Amino acid sequence: MLNLFPPKIKPILNEKSFLAFLLSSKTRAFSSPPSSSSLYLSNLIAGILNSKNPRQALKLFNSASRTINPLKTLKLHSAVIYCLTEAKLYVKARCLIKDLIETLLQNRKPHKVCSSIFNAFNQFESGGSNINVFGVLIIALCEKGLVDEAYWVYQKIRRLPATQACNAILDGFLKAGRVEFMWEVYGRMVSNGMLPTDVSYGILIDACCDLGDNARANVLFDEMVEKGLKPTVVIYTTLIRGLCEEGRMLEGGNYLRRMQEVGVVPNVYTYNTLMDGYAKKASVEKVLQLYREMLDHDALPNVVTYCILIHLFCRIGEIVAVRSYFVHMVKLSVVPNVYIYNCLMNGFNSDGNLSAALDMFYEMEKFSISPDVFTYGTLIKGYCNIGRLEDAEHLLRKMNDTGVYVNLVVYNTLIDGLCKEGSVERGLELCSQMLEKGVQPDIVTFCTLINGYCKVGKMEAAMGLYNEMAIKGYQPDVVAYTSLIDGHFKNGNLSAALQLHKEMIKAGVTPNAYTASCLIDGLCKNGRINDAVKIFLENRAGFTGTELELSTSSFSGRCSPLHIMYSALINGLCRDGRIFKASKFFAEMRSSGLYPDVSNYAVILQGHLDVKHMFAVMMLQADILKMGTFPNSFMYKVLNRGYQEFGDFASALKIRDDLLNSGLEDSSLCFKESFELCKQ
């Protein structure tokens, strides 16, 4: 190393009093021309480079760096870094480079900093050690997030740096999302005969999985195994994650078995990855099997594990299991986070147990866990569901007071709650408040307000919002069109309702079962029975499975679109005197799994009585008893009058007795009518 300096400096470097000499030359430098200061710095650099050991070099550097501006001593830093690298003290060298980068970045751009350090290092050309200095520089730049600068150094040097430096660039490009550069670096490594390490393959496999290219990830995995490299638990977990994200759970599980067979122990992240994949498919047994396996293998669950379990059981409505795992988590000293509490509150909310959700909220405050927008959004939704709008608005104010950002979902939830309670004007005020906060309404906001105005019969305001949607470039969805069509029908504006239906079709918005039910109900009430029947027959085959499932779901089906359609058609046809057609639709209604309600029975009974179909009446009466439907007073009156007109006074009196025993209102009036008729 002494050959780097002129002969006149060599004797000085070999003397024990070198440090004293430096200090004296430093003193002279302050009162001498600039050349003396340069001499001091040259002597100092020479002393560092020719130190007996890196400890002595660091001592000289630390002594000088306290008084010399580091911005002006790049050579001094370069010398000590060079010395440390030669001694293979790469970590210390890297720390010094990072400190130097931070200092220089205070008044220079990143590329200027990089080129300055590169040029300073380039002056110390000495065999193979020079490439290691640049390798350490590349790693330091990548760790500082300066991957472009690291890549510039990589391209400038004549030979490939060490594998660790190449891996640092690969990792830097992966984190920056610039995968295309990774393959160039990897290709150069392979073409130059450099053997990638397990770290290299781990980074490349991670990149492939992020891009959804699991096939290439598997090729790289097989390649590293063929080269005798042992995949780590991180690599196995990465491959499992990629497969789980594609829903390929069987293959993911196979990798778990494979790693266990070769002696690689799965960790909590491996199990969490598989559990999350199965949880997304609601495969409860598989999730629990993995959970038990991780406990058996001493892979202690963490907060993510319990997030997966609690979220899964909340989704499927198993609230008892949710409570159980929450207790188990606490027993294992796993501290719940805000996500856990949010899952719990959402689960309790969905179960209709707002008080339990509030208990969780108060517990969060007790343990100083700050609620986030999802916490408040869940509780606001819960309050809106039970009509406690003042409490919901109080929480909104609390969000603003505590600095929690109120997002569009929260505003839409509260606006929807207000509109359902008929407080549409307050919903509009909230929309204005939302705009003041910089939150722009979306199609859900407009549709919610339109639906609210339609329900309270303010069609002019609803149409105003409909037109504003068009101005703002929003395409009304099926919900908005359906609400407007239904509103116009209920306000007796048949032409406006049908015009909107035409606009809906023209705009390419496909009507759903709810739209069809509104049209059929509206047309029937306006005497357009044939048009209603036509729409029903045209749309019946096109209803989605979900809509039909809702329509045929036990008692909830009585409020379903299909039930509304059948009811409207039966009612309209009976009023029109077309009892045979009405009976056909009534039979279809029964065969489709729908439960006729009391009004359906009353209408069809009246229709049959009007044309003296007493056998059909008796069959319907038996069906009513079989279905467990409780007749109302109107149905009793219809049956009572029908039997009397037919001359069957015994049946009429039986109906009278049933009515008296039912405790329904106006039973005494019906009794009086029945008694007078029986006397005749």
Residue 12 pLDDT class (50, 70, 90 cuts)? very low
Percent of the chain predicted with pLDDT > 90? 47
As a whole number, mean pLDDT of residues 131-148 equals 91
Amino acid occupying residue 160: L
Q: Which are the contacts of 601, defined by CB distance < 8 A and separation ≥ 6?
A: 620, 623, 624, 629, 631, 635
pLDDT at 329: 92
pTM of the model: 0.71
The burial of 63, by beta-carbon neighbours within 10 Å (0-12 exposed, 13-18 middle, 19 or more buried), is given as: middle
Mean pLDDT, residues 317-342 taken together? 91
pLDDT digits 0-9 by tens, 477-523: 898 999 999 999 999 999 999 999 999 999 999 888 889 889 999 99
Q: Per residue in 455-472, pLDDT tens?
A: 999 999 999 999 998 888
Q: Is the pLDDT of residue 475 over 70?
A: yes
> Pick the residue with more confidence: 124 or 71?
124
Type of residue at 296: D
pLDDT at position 318 over 50: yes
Instruction: Inform me whether the pLDDT recorded for 379 exceeds 90.
Output: yes
CA distance 495 to 523: 11
Average pLDDT over residues 543-562: 51
Q: Where are the domains of the chain?
A: 1-159, 511-591, 596-680
pLDDT attached to residue 364: 92
What's the average model confidence in pLDDT over 623-643?
A: 74
Number of H helices, E strands in the chain: 39, 0
Tell me the C-alpha distance between 525 and 539, whole Å.
19
Name the residue among 351, 349, 356 with its Cα closest to residue 384.
Answer: 349
Helix spans in 177-213 (H)? 179-191, 198-210
**pLDDT value at residue 104:** 86
State CA 219 to chain mean position distance: 31
Highest mean predicted confidence (pLDDT) among 178-187, 200-209, 568-577, 627-636: 200-209
pLDDT at 140: 92
Select from 284, 277, 274, 357 the least CA-distant residue to 315.
284
- C-alpha 404: how far from its chain's center? 19
For 212-249, what is each residue's pLDDT tens digit? 999 999 999 999 999 999 999 999 999 999 999 999 99
User: Could you confirm whether domain 1-159 is CATH 3.40.50?
Assistant: no
Q: In one letter, which amino acid is 617?
A: V
Residue 552 has a pLDDT of 43
Distance CA 118, CA 155 (A): 12
